[in-house]
Amino acid sequence: MPLEGETARGYALPMATRLLTHPACLDHVTPPGHPERVDRLRAINKLLAHPHFAELDRKEAPLGSDEDIARAHTEAYIRHIRAALPDLQQEWQQLDPDTWMSPGSLEAALRGVGAAIAGVDAVFKGEAANVFCAIRPPSHHAESRRAMGFCLFNNAAIAALHARARYDAERVAVVDFDVHHGNGTQDIFWSGRNLFYGSTHQMPLYPGTGAVSETGAGNIFNAPLRAGDGSDRFREALRSVILPAVDAFGPDLIVISAGFDAHHRDPLGGLELSEKDFVWASLYIMEMADKHAEGRVVSVLEGGYDLAALASSVGAHVQALMRGTGELEAVAIAVDDEDEIND
């Protein structure tokens, strides 16, 4: 029988799930009609304000530093992003066909980096059981030298490299279930034998990377799916490719690139998943973290562009982080015109 304060697995009961976010992430404003819009985070904030999530340990994300960012991006790229920031008289600066900056974008991106860094600190210092970072802009398309696909800085990669630099983590894994392949994380991790990237994603779809043959230094594991593939094929891809590879890798930390645009309602993807699939994936990733990493999981928000589906999927994912059970409770939020929950 376990001692008081311990689980059947023999280690101390975890602390609360920490939520890291910041109001500045609402100041990254994109042009009208852009799918990566402020309302995404407003919908998430509204849902996570529900009493069901009262036990979350809520903290404001600090600012990330250039030193943090430079672990994943070149100094020239960091200077480029800083120089591209529009002033208050200029609404937007376009970095590529999909990626824009507004006057508030740099602080929003720095808060995203800071959230990822603070999440790693929290799980390694034993301050939190695990962490969810409700941040924007998203990050997993940002390569070491290039902004892409709505993304400026690669929060997941920065978190992983911070864990190695600050806590001597020998092996860090990023698991990505966004509908789009995280080409940026793959690019940054490509030659890092002690860094792991595993992704399920739809192909063909933006950005066009993520083939099974893309293996890096033997540390990249892609499990592409086709439009119309649903729950069974998604779970099989994780069960047969990604999770066994994570198990063999034996990470000291797992970072989740938590994109929810594989939901059947999302306008940018076609994988036909539901909230229960995200719960299933979250629980199995947590099981790998329990086995190898003392439960250390940091989850960073990526995509998800139908607002109602995004909010409910985030709620399901956070419930899994909080409870560690498969019991999914639906949490409803009111729909009104201001939130534009239904497009």
Catalytic (active-site) positions: 141
* Cα 319 to chain centroid, rounded: 15
Tokens of 36: 């990566």
Pick from 186, 188, 282: nearest CA to 234: 282
Give me the phi and psi of 285, to 5 degrees please: -65, -40
**100 exposure class (CB count in 10 Å sphere: 0-12, 13-18, 19+):** buried
**325 exposure class (CB count in 10 Å sphere: 0-12, 13-18, 19+):** exposed
d(CA 232, CA 239): 10
Specify the DSSP element, H or E, that contains 48.
helix 38-48
Tokens of 184: 């940026």
In the block, tokens 């402020």 appear at: 38
d(CA 136, CA 96): 18
Pick from 152, 144, 28: nearest CA to 83: 152
d(CA 204, CA 210): 9
Tokens of 287: 């099981």
